[in-house]
């Protein structure tokens, strides 16, 4: 079993520094390049599915989080309130929902706008105890792929089904190993908002959305404001965990007095669906690093092509090929020093999907010889064809290295 902390260090993906603080890792250039590709992919997937993206601050007025219920029900997981003066207090937000409720009510809404899907990859904070922190799997500063879909009650079933489809598309592209669905319900205790009728209604809607799919029920795993569907995945050691969730919430629309004008001209209350396709970037990458042993699909590999001239005579041709790769949108670098064998091994050790070797024979015929990180060798092919093939695999977000 690989540990993402060790691989994160070896592959220079992220850095934990005591001066930065426990649970506050720094993404290094290689990790940032991979994360950037994943963020772009998810944003585009959402845009095509009708989501509208917003930016909201990771800090908000204390009153906002009193209204949302977070300070009443979730304060143990939050950082202490920041006090500028007696009537000016701020909170590092533990969730994005309160800001997105403000987006919804920034103006009047009509039933024609629903479902209204507000998305953001936003920062939030949790005051985890330092003893449980390590690497990327548990952190104090979280970058969440989040959205809140405001819909009419009658739209919830179709909306949840559509979200489940999107999650499965994203998981396939990322190379996530699926492990079924879990319906997370209330447990005993007082830590839940809202009345029984509301919970019953929300649970029934989620059961309907899951009908026909294999799922298990888990008491005590719900959010404090509503039941949720957890999309379970398997890690490298075969253990189950959760990165993607869909939660139903009748409570926040009431607290924020959200409404829309319905088709008969009256005022109706929307339902809020909280959903994350891939979870937080930190948890996601802790998982992806381990499940792929650092060998990400080419589309989000930090370096996608390493160009290796056999000798100094091939340096110019190699540099020209590297530039062509970069112009085609690929992340490519040239490594010229050391024996060819050592460089091919070095590229594979750094999990670079493609090493493009240029010897005298390849240069004279305008070709490159591709070596894959898994040891496979491809027959020399015309340089533009090789480039087109790699760019095609990257653009298709394929998990395979060859078509
Ligand atoms: Zn939310």
Ligand 1 centre to CA of 4 (Å) is 28
Nearest Cα to 95, choosing from 251, 216, 205?
251
Phi, psi of 216, rounded to the nearest 5 degrees: -115, 160
Ligand 1 centre to CA of 233 (Å) is 21
The mean pLDDT of 184-189, rounded to a whole number, is: 86
Q: Are 135 and 286 in contact (CB under 8 A)?
A: yes
Ligand 1 centre to CA of 119 (Å) is 10
Ligand 1 centre to CA of 225 (Å) is 10
The mean pLDDT of 292-303, rounded to a whole number, is: 98
Ligand 1 centre to CA of 66 (Å) is 15
Per residue in 230-272, pLDDT tens? Answer: 999 998 788 888 999 999 999 999 999 999 999 999 999 999 9
Ligand 1 centre to CA of 145 (Å) is 10
Nearest Cα to 160, choosing from 181, 131, 139?
181
Ligand 1 centre to CA of 272 (Å) is 8
Is it the case that residue 127 has pLDDT exceeding 80?
yes
Ligand 1 centre to CA of 113 (Å) is 20
The mean pLDDT of 90-96, rounded to a whole number, is: 97
Alpha-carbon torsion angle 48, 54, 55, 56, nearest 10: -140
Q: Are 186 and 220 in contact (CB under 8 A)?
A: yes
Ligand 1 centre to CA of 382 (Å) is 50
Ligand 1 centre to CA of 270 (Å) is 14
**Full DSSP string of 221-286:** -SBTTB-EEEEEEE-TTS-EEEEEEEEEESHHHHHTT--EE-TTS-EEPPEEEEEESS-BHHHHHH
> What is the length of the chain?
403
Per residue in 298-329, pLDDT tens? Answer: 999 999 999 999 999 999 999 999 999 999 99
| pLDDT confidence bin for 1, thresholds 50/70/90 | low
Q: Which residue has the tokens 């340096």?
A: 315
Per residue in 226-240, pLDDT tens? Answer: 899 999 999 878 888
Ligand 1 centre to CA of 75 (Å) is 16
Average pLDDT score over the chain: 94
Ligand 1 centre to CA of 91 (Å) is 16
| pLDDT confidence bin for 224, thresholds 50/70/90 | confident
Count of Cβ atoms closer than 10 Å to residue 118 Cβ: 21
Ligand 1 centre to CA of 350 (Å) is 37
Q: Is 178 strand, coil or helix?
A: strand
Q: Are 331 and 337 in contact (CB under 8 A)?
A: no
Ligand 1 centre to CA of 271 (Å) is 12
Ligand 1 centre to CA of 89 (Å) is 22
Ligand 1 centre to CA of 291 (Å) is 27
| pLDDT confidence bin for 199, thresholds 50/70/90 | confident
CA gap 142, 121 in Å, rounded: 10
CA gap 403, 398 in Å, rounded: 9
pLDDT score for 64 = 97
Ligand 1 centre to CA of 147 (Å) is 7
């Amino acid at each position: 079993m690989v540990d993402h902390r060790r691989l994160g260090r070896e592959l220079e993906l992220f850095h934990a520094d005591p001066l930065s603080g426990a649970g506050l890792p720094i993404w290094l250039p290689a990790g940032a390049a991979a994360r950037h590709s994943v963020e772009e992919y998810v944003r585009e997937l959402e845009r095509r599915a009708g989501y509208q993206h917003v930016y909201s601050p990771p800090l908000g007025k204390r009153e906002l989080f009193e209204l949302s219920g977070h300070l009443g029900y979730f304060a143990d997981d939050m950082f202490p309130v920041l006090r500028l003066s007696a009537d000016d207090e701020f909170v590092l937000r533990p969730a994005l929902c309160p800001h997105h409720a403000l987006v919804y009510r920034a103006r009047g809404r009509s039933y024609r706008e629903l479902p209204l899907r507000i998305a953001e990859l936003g920062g939030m904070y949790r005051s985890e105890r330092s003893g449980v922190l390590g690497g990327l799997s548990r952190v104090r500063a979280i970058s969440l792929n989040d959205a809140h879909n405001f819909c009419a009650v009658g739209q919830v079933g179709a909306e949840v089904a559509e979200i489940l489809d999107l999650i499965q598309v994203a998981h396939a592209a990322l190379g996530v190993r699926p492990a079924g669905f879990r319906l997370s319900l209330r447990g005993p205790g007082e830590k839940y908002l809202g009345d029984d009728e509301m919970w019953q209604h929300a649970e029934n809607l989620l059961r309907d959305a899951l009908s026909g799919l294999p799922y298990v029920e888990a008491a005590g795993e719900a959010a404090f404001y509503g039941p949720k569907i957890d999309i379970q995945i398997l890690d490298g050691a075969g253990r189950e965990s959760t990165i993607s969730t869909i939660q139903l919430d009748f409570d926040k629309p009431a607290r924020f007095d959200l409404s829309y004008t319905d088709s008969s001209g009256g005022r109706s209350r929307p339902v809020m669906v909280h959903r994350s396709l891939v979870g937080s970037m930190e948890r996601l990458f802790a998982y992806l690093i381990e499940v792929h042993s650092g060998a990400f699909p080419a589309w989000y590999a930090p370096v996608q092509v390493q160009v290796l001239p056999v000798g100094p005579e091939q340096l110019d041709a190699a540099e020209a090929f590297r530039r062509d790769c970069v112009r085609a949108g690929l992340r490519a670098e040239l490594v010229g020093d050391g024996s060819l064998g050592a460089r091919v091994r070095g590229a594979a050790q750094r999990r670079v999907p493609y090493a493009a070797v240029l010897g005298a024979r390849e240069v004279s015929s305008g070709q490159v010889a591709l070596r894959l990180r898994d040891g496979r060798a491809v027959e020399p092919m015309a340089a533009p064809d090789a480039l087109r093939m790699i760019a095609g695999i990257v653009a298709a977000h394929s998990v395979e290295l060859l078509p």
